[in-house]
């Protein structure tokens, strides 16, 4: 999955969490600037992110996220690491 596809999926997830299909979020929009996005929304986003992208996020990583771009970068990094580990395990 490419970065722009991850950004689009995360944006859709936030739209669903906030029940606002008309929300306009850029990848660098801070979460605190998104109307209605609160700490519960953030927890819901990260739980869904783990499920959708098949990754594990620890509390230290979650606390660093300020934007969709931040999450996207970590998803890409974790998925690359997972792919590398899976290739090593099957070799």
- Tens of pLDDT, residue by residue over 5-39, are 999 999 999 999 999 999 989 999 999 999 999 99
Band (89; pLDDT cuts 50, 70, 90): low
Residue spans per domain, the chain: 3-90
pLDDT of 34 reads 95
pLDDT of residue 75: 95
Question: Which class does domain 3-90 fall in?
Answer: mainly alpha
CA distance readout (Å), 64 to 10, 60, 68: 17, 7, 11
What is the CA 6 to chain-centroid distance, rounded? 8
Task: Evaluate if residue 88 carries a pLDDT over 60.
Answer: no
Residues 27, 67 contacting (CB under 8 angstroms): yes
Q: Rg (Cα) of the chain, in Å, rounded?
A: 14
Q: How far apart are CA 21 and CA 15, in angstroms?
A: 6
DSSP state of 34: S
């Amino acid at each position: 999955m490419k970065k722009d596809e991850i950004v689009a999926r995360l944006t859709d997830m936030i739209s669903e969490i906030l029940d606002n299909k008309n929300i306009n979020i850029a990848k660098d929009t801070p979460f605190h600037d998104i109307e209605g996005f609160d700490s519960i929304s953030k927890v819901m986003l990260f739980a869904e992110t783990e499920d959708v992208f098949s990754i594990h996020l620890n509390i230290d990583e979650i606390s660093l996220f300020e934007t969709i771009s931040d999450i996207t970068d970590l998803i890409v990094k974790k998925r690359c690491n997972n792919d590398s580990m899976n290739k090593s395990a099957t070799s």
